[in-house]
Structure 1
Amino acid sequence: MKKYTYKKYIQTMMLAVAVIPFFSSCDYLDKEPDDMLTIDAVFDNADYTKQWLAGVYNLVPDPLWEYMNFAGYGYYMMSDETQMASSLGQFGWGNLMNVQQGSWTPTQIIPGKNLWKETYQKVRSGLIFLERVKEIPDQRQTVELVERYKNEVRFLIAYYYSRMLEVYGPFPLITSLMDVNDSGEVLKKERTPYDEIVNYLDNEFMELSKILPSSYDNVNIGRPTSGACLALRARMLMFAASPLFNGNEDFKDVVNKDGTPLFSQSKDNKKWEKAAVAAKLVIDLPEYDLYKEYLEDGSIDALMSCTNLYLTTTEQNPEIIMAFPGKTSSLYEYHLMPRKSGFAGCISATQNIVDAFFMKNGLSIDELGSGYVEEGFSTEDTYYPTKYTYGSADKKEGLVTPKGTYNMYVNREPRFYANIRFHGKYCSFDDDKRQHNFLNGGQDGKPSHDSPIAGYQINKAIHPATRSGSYPYKPGIIVRLGEMYLNYAEALNEYNPGHTDITKYVNLIRERAGLPALKSGLSQSEMREAIHHERRVEFAFEGGMRYMDIRRWKEAEKVFETPISGMNTDAKTNNDFFKRTEIQKRIFLKKMYLWPIYQTYLDNNEKMVQNKYW
C-alpha cells in the first residue's frame, strides 16, 4: 500500500503539474510530519474527507479584504478608486505601490497572493479528491453526498481557472490527475489557447448548472448552486467578448513555441451575443431579484436599498447569487474606518471615484443642468425620502447632509452616501456624536499615516453601527444579479444596439439607486459610455470590478492619464482642505493588461511562453 504522508500531500498539491520545480527551496517541505496517514485512510474516513474538501474550498476569496490588500490580490489598489499613503510601504504595501508606478517584473510575485501557484495546488487537490472520494455507508457518507461533493469540486476547479483566465489569459489547462512520479518532461505543458479554455469552462459550468441544487439551507451558505454556475459562466463570457480578448491586435503574434496561436486572430461579434444570452439566462432564474427596500407609500427607499444590499444576510437578500462561505475579515473595516473611532483608516477613496457619482437628478457633475456646486457650504439641511438616520448625531430620519456640508457633497445620488465618507460627515462609529475630521491635526487625519491620503473613506459594506472590536455580520458578495443586468445591457448594446432591453435593464439599476431613466435616443457609442459609467458607480469598491472592467475594455492606459487626486489633506483649516490636490500620477503600461507569468515557472518549463511585452 502506498504511504501518503501529510508531507507528501503538501508536495503533491504543490507540484502543480506545469510548474513542478519551483518549490524545491521550501525548507518546511524537508521537515518530517508528526503523523502519517495513507491516502486510503484519508478517504476511508468521512471526517477526513470533509476536511480535504474544505481545503479545496479555501481559495474562494474574501471579496472585500482579499481584493484590497497587498497580501491578497490588490485589485482595488490597481484601479483608480483607492489610494494609500506612501508611508504604508513599511507595512507591506510597497509592492502594490510599485505596480501603481509601472514597476513590475516577472521576477516578482505581485500582489502577495500567488494566484497561479495556488490555483494549481487546489486543482491538484481537487483532482485527487475526485479520484479517491467514495461512499462510506456506516459514516453516513452516501452515494448522493459523494456525488454532490464531486460536483462541488468540479465547480471550484472551474471557478479557480476562470479567475486565472481573467488576469493571466491562457495557461496550461489541466483536467486530469497526473502521477507526480512521472518524468519532468511528461509534466511540462504548454499554454492552452484562450478560446479552448473558455469552451471547456463554458461546458463545465453549463453541465454543473443542470445538476447542482438551486439553493441550500443557511448552514450551507457559500456552496455552489446552479445559479452560481450560470453567473460565473456569464462573467467569463463577458471577458471573452471584450476588446482585451476578442480580436486584440496586440496579441496576434502570441503563440506557443510550436506556433499555435494563444488568442483569437479576429474579432467575433457573436461572442457578445453569447455573453448576452448567458446573462439573460441568469436574469430569468426565479430565485433572484434586485434587493430593494420600500417606504410606506410603496416607493423605493434608494439610500437604504443601496446601503443594506451589502449588509443583509443571504437568506434575506434575493440579489446575492454567490457569497463567500465564511465570515469576511474585520481587517476590511479596520483599514477603512476612522482612527478616532479605534480603527486604522489608512485606505482612501479617491477624488476620481467621488467625481464619478451622479447628482440626485441623474446627471453627471459636469453636465449642464446637474446643479453641481463645487465650492462653499450648504445653507440648509438636505432631506431625501428615506428611513436613513445616520446623517446627524440626533438621527433625524431622512437627513442626508446637514447645513454646513461642503457643497461638493450635497444633492448627490444615494449611492454616493452609501459608498463614501467625507470630511465633515457625521461619524456613527463611536459615541462622541462627532463628525469625521480629516484635517492635518484632526482626530482622523494627518500627520498619522492612519488617515485617508485623499480625504475620503470607503463606506461600502460597512455597517453604520460598527464599533471597534465588534463587527456585525455581512455577506461577502462574489456575484450578484445587478452585475447580470449590466452585463446583459453591455453585451446587447455591442451586437444588437437599439434593443429595448438595453435601456430597460440599465434603468432598473438606476431606479433602485433613486435615479431617473436614461434619456432616450442614445447612439450605440453614447449607450456604451453610459453603461460604462453606470458600472463604475454601481460596482465601486466591489470585488475588484473596476480593475477588471478597465482592463477588459482596454481603457486602463487612458484612465490613468488622469492623475489620482483628492482633497488637500495637509491642510489644517476647512478652507484649505477643500481644494483639489494631485496625489499621484499612475503609470499603466500596455504589458500590464495581463499579469506576467513568474519567471521561475518559465525557467522550469521551456514549453511555456511569457505574456507579451514582459
Structure 2
Amino acid sequence: MKHINKLILCISLIGLCACNDFLDVVPDNIPTIDHAFNNRASAEKYLYTCYSYLPDPCSPNYTPQLMSGNECWINPLDNNRYWYDLHTFDIARGYQNTNEPILNFWDGRNAGTNLFIALRDCNIFLENIDKPADLELYDKARWIAEVKALKAYYHFYLLRMYGPIPIVKENIPVSSDIDEVKVYRDPVEDVFAYIVALLDEAAADLPEYIQNRTQEIGRLTKPIALALKAKALTLAASPLFNGNPYYANMKDNRGISLFPQTYDPEKWTLAAAATLEAIEAAHAGKHELYYYKGFNPVSEDTRRKLHIRNAVTERWNDEIVWGSTKDQTHLQKVTCTRTRSNQASNDEARSMMSPTLDVVETFYTKNGVPINEDKTWDYENRYQVREAEEDHKYFIKTGHITANLNFDREIRYYASLSFDGGIIYGNGILNDEDANIGYGQMKKGQIGGVLGVSRYTVTGYLPKKLVSYETVIEGNTFSAKRYSFPVIRLADLYLMMAEALNESKAAPDTEVYKWIDLVRERASLEGVVESWNKYSINPEKVTTQAGMRDIIHQERMNELAFEGERYWDLLRWKKAEDYMNKPIKGWNVMGETTEEYYEIKVVAQPEFLTKNYFFPLRKASLDVNSNLIQNPGW
C-alpha cells in the first residue's frame, strides 16, 4: 500500500488525477502489466489503449474547437434541454475559471481527457513492447512508431491548449522522492523540439498508407506523422509562440523563461520545409484533393458543391490524411436542417449549431474575393432582399425572397451553409431537378425555423457541410450516414504551405500562389492574382506579404469552415481578440414574415481576453505542485 500511495502522489504532483484508468501500474506485484505484454494479442490491445485517449474532433461537447469560439452559437435554452452539459459553449460565454477549468485536459476533469495519463500509458507500452515473444519485428517497429507519434500528438495537443507543459519522456519511477516528482513546465521551444524529434523517429517506421482498410483504417501512417510535424512547426512559427511579448515575464521559480522573446523568421522556413515533406508523403500515400465522381443525376453546380461537402462527409475519401473513427451522429443532429413537414416532431433533428453572421460574411463572392472588396457586388445593400430567379435554382429556391447576402457567393458558401431559401441537396432526394428537393424554410413557424422554445438556429444559418447528403430524416427517424471526420486533410496542408512560404519570403511569388490556387480551383475559383486583378478594389493586395497573409487567413477560414481549424488558427495568429469580441449577429429568427425576418439582431456579446489564448491550470494542481506556475492572466 505504501508503494501504491507513492504512485498516486507521483501522478497528482504533475497535476494529474483521473479515475477509471484502463491499466494502472501496480508497483510491487505487477500481474496487470505482465499480462498486457505476454503475447502479441494482448500487446495489441494495449496499443489500442494508447489510441483510446485521442480527443474526439467531431464532438461539440468535449473538445474546444467547434464551439469554444465564435464560429457557431446556440440558443442558451438548448444547453440544458438538448445538449445537456455543453462545456465548450460555456467557454465561449466566458465561464472559464481556475477552480474547476472547463475541458481540463491537464487533470482529466470537467469533460477533459487526462492526456498525461495517455502519455504514461504510451511510455508503459514503449517500456514493455520487447516482452511478447510472438511479435514479428515489422509489427513491433510499426507499433513503436505509432505510439511515438501518439506521444507527440498528446504533447502537441497539450502545448496548443496550455503553452509550456512538462515533457514526459519517461514515466517517473515509483521510488522517486517528493522533490523529483514535482515537475516543471518546460520551455515551449523544448517541447516543440521533442515533438518534432518523436515524429521524425515515428515516420521512418510507419506505412505510407493503410493496406488493410477494413481492420486498420484510422491508424497512424507516415503522412499523418509528417503532417503533425508540419502542424507543430507552423504553430511554433506563428505569432502566438514566435516572439510573443505578452509572455515575456512567464518564468518558473528557477528563473527559466518559458517563451522565446525574439521573433525568428527562420521558423517559417522550417515550417515550409516540413509541410512540403508532409505533402510529398501524402501524395506518395495516395492522397489527393477530393472531387465528387458519383453517378447521381445532378447538375454541374450541385456536383461542384459536392466537391466541397463530400471532402468532409464521404467516408475515408482520398483527401483525408487523418480521419477520426469517432461517431459524429450527434454532430449531424445538431447541424441538420429540417426541410419537410413530417420532420416537425422529430426530436433528433435539432438544428441548433448556428454559424454566426461574421462567419457567413467571411465567405467570398462568386468572383473569389471578399464581399467588401468585390467591385461588382453590392456590399452596401447586402441585407436587402430580392426574389431568386431560375438561374439560381441549384443554389436558391426559385421564387423565394431572401437576402442579397445569399446571392452570388462562392461555391463553398452554398456547400457549407443552409439558409432561408437555400437548396439542400440530399435527405433522400438525389435528383436536383426534383420539385420536392429540400430548401431552407427558416422563419418562425416554418419547418426549419422556430417551432418551440428551443431546437432552432439562433442566427438563421446551419452548417450543412457537416451533414452527409446521404443522411435521411423521415418522420421520427434520423438515419445518419456515418463518415470519417477529418483531423487533417490535404487542402489544409496546401494552405499551410502557402502560409509558410509567404511568411518566409519578402514578397509572395508563384510558389505561394500555386498552393492556394490548387484549393481555389477545386472551389471553382480563379487564382488569387487573376481574381484580385479582375474584381478587387484592392488589386495590389496579392503583391505584398501582408496582403497575402490576410488572403491566406481568409482562405483557410472559408475552406476549413466548421472543421475546427478556425478556432486554433485565430489563436495562433493572435487574431482572437479581433474576431471573438465581435457581437454575435444573425437574422431575426422570431420573424414570421420576410420583412420581420430580414432584420439583423445581436444574439450575444462575448468577451475574449488576452488570458484566453491559453487554458488555465486548476488551482488545486498548483497547490499540490509548487513548481508549476499559472498561465498569465489567470
Aligned match of 2:361: 355
Aligned match of 2:202: 208
Shift of the 47–448 alpha-carbon distance from structure 1 to 2, 3 Å rule, reads farther
Within the alignment, does 1:190 sit opposite 2:184 as a pair? yes
Given residue 264 of structure 2, which amino acid in structure 1 is its aligned partner? D
Paired residues, what number? 581
Shift of the 38–294 alpha-carbon distance from structure 1 to 2, 3 Å rule, reads closer
Conservation of the 8 A alpha-carbon contact between 1:15 and 1:121: no
How far apart are the structure 1 equivalents of 2:417 and 2:384?
A: 18
Given residue 596 of structure 2, which amino acid in structure 1 is its aligned partner? D
Shift of the 63–115 alpha-carbon distance from structure 1 to 2, 3 Å rule, reads farther
Aligned match of 2:100: 108
Aligned match of 1:456: 461
**Aligned-pair Cα RMSD in Å:** 3.2
How far apart are the structure 1 equivalents of 2:245 and 2:15?
A: 33
- The superposition leaves residues 238-294 of structure 1 with CA deviations (integer Å, 9 ceiling, x where unpaired) of 111111100001111101110000000211110111111111112233333222247
Aligned match of 2:631: 611
Conservation of the 8 A alpha-carbon contact between 1:135 and 1:143: no
SS at structure 2 position matched to 1:438: coil
SS at structure 1 position matched to 2:313: coil
After superposition, where does 1:370-385 map in structure 2 within 5 Å? 370-372=376-378, 373-383=382-392
Given residue 110 of structure 1, which amino acid in structure 2 is its aligned partner? I
- The superposition leaves residues 525-570 of structure 1 with CA deviations (integer Å, 9 ceiling, x where unpaired) of 111111111111111101x211111111111111134211111011
How far apart are the structure 2 equivalents of 1:368 and 1:28?
A: 56
How far apart are the structure 2 equivalents of 1:129 and 1:430?
A: 47
Shift of the 121–290 alpha-carbon distance from structure 1 to 2, 3 Å rule, reads same
After superposition, where does 1:255-270 map in structure 2 within 5 Å? 255-270=251-266
Conservation of the 8 A alpha-carbon contact between 2:50 and 2:118: yes
Aligned match of 1:548: 568
Shift of the 399–531 alpha-carbon distance from structure 1 to 2, 3 Å rule, reads closer
Please point out which of 577, 581, 584 is paired with 2:597. Answer: 577
Conservation of the 8 A alpha-carbon contact between 1:17 and 1:120: no
Please point out which of 570, 573, 598 is paired with 2:618. Answer: 598
Shift of the 606–336 alpha-carbon distance from structure 1 to 2, 3 Å rule, reads same
Aligned match of 1:331: 330
Return 5+ residue gaps in structure 2 as ranges: 430-435, 534-539
After superposition, where does 1:25-44 map in structure 2 within 5 Å? 37-44=31-38
Given residue 462 of structure 1, which amino acid in structure 2 is its aligned partner? V
Please point out which of 492, 500, 503 is paired with 1:483. Answer: 492
How far apart are the structure 2 equivalents of 1:488 and 1:529?
A: 15
Shift of the 14–423 alpha-carbon distance from structure 1 to 2, 3 Å rule, reads farther
Aligned match of 2:553: 532
After superposition, where does 1:408-427 map in structure 2 within 5 Å? 408-427=405-424
Shift of the 401–232 alpha-carbon distance from structure 1 to 2, 3 Å rule, reads farther
Aligned match of 1:302: 304
Return 5+ residue gaps in structure 1 as ranges: 384-390, 392-397
Instruction: Kindly state the Cα deviation for residue 216 of structure 1 after the two structures are TM-superposed.
Output: 1.3
Instruction: Kindly state the Cα deviation for residue 305 of structure 1 after the two structures are TM-superposed.
Output: 1.0
Aligned match of 1:228: 224
Instruction: Kindly state the Cα deviation for residue 142 of structure 1 after the two structures are TM-superposed.
Output: 2.1
Aligned match of 2:154: 160
Shift of the 105–64 alpha-carbon distance from structure 1 to 2, 3 Å rule, reads same
How far apart are the structure 1 equivalents of 2:236 and 2:288?
A: 26
Given residue 290 of structure 1, which amino acid in structure 2 is its aligned partner? L
SS at structure 2 position matched to 1:371: coil
- TM-score normalised to structure 2 length: 0.85
Conservation of the 8 A alpha-carbon contact between 2:55 and 2:63: no
Aligned match of 2:478: 469
Aligned match of 1:80: 70
- TM-score normalised to structure 1 length: 0.87
- The superposition leaves residues 148-175 of structure 1 with CA deviations (integer Å, 9 ceiling, x where unpaired) of 2222111111111111111111111110
Given residue 621 of structure 2, which amino acid in structure 1 is its aligned partner? Y
How far apart are the structure 2 equivalents of 1:14 and 1:154?
A: 26
Aligned match of 2:193: 199
Q: Could you list the runs of 4 or more consecutive aligned residues of structure 1 that deviate by over 4 angstroms after TM superposition?
A: 10-15, 20-24, 26-30, 112-117, 294-301, 398-401, 430-434
Conservation of the 8 A alpha-carbon contact between 2:141 and 2:205: no
Shift of the 267–546 alpha-carbon distance from structure 1 to 2, 3 Å rule, reads same
Please point out which of 267, 280, 288 is paired with 2:276. Answer: 280
Given residue 82 of structure 1, which amino acid in structure 2 is its aligned partner? C
Deviates more, 1:207-216 or 1:94-103: 94-103
Instruction: Kindly state the Cα deviation for residue 460 of structure 1 after the two structures are TM-superposed.
Output: 1.6
